[in-house]
Amino acid sequence: MNEQRKDILDMLVEGKITPDEAERLIDALERDRPPAAASSDVRPRGKAKYLRLEVDTIEGGEPGRVNARVPLQLLRAGVQLAALIPPQALTKANAELARSGVPVDLSQLKPAQLEALIDHLDEVTLEVDHPDTKVRVFCE
């Protein structure tokens, strides 16, 4: 336990602050604390080159496997190219995507949003409601 947290708890025990005040102080300490050191199995930020999708399944007693590896540079280039598409074409493309069940607005794609997505892909967890199926999405 760090010294500041101990001091807050001591003040609470001595009746100098209320439990609500102690909770607010501890919450403030948590917000100000630097993030914990990254574990060794986490990929260093900015080093990813590929988006991977792996699916292992067994259906009807037969094993199945999907292993897709997409260069992130392809995604980045696609987002940059979307900015060059005329508005009329974007409207038509969005309508076709929506009609196909893909509700994506291509005019809203921004490079910074893609980088934020890439940065958070290490945190992606997919749950599959099938005991014989395993899905992984990650960057490498």
Instruction: Please write the tens of the pLDDT for every residue from 91-131.
Output: 898 898 888 887 878 778 777 777 777 776 666 666 677 77
Determine the Cα–Cα distance for residues 87 and 91; give it in Å rounded to an integer.
6
Same domain, 84 and 124: yes
Determine the Cα–Cα distance for residues 19 and 25; give it in Å rounded to an integer.
10
**Looking at the 3D structure of the chain, how many domains does it have?**
2
Same domain, 118 and 72: yes
CB 108, CB 30: distance < 8 Å = no
Taking 60 as the threshold, does the pLDDT of residue 43 lie above it? no
SS3 state at 33: coil
- Residue 39, in any domain of the structure: no
CB 118, CB 48: distance < 8 Å = yes
Single pTM value for the model: 0.46
Tokens of 95: 């309508």
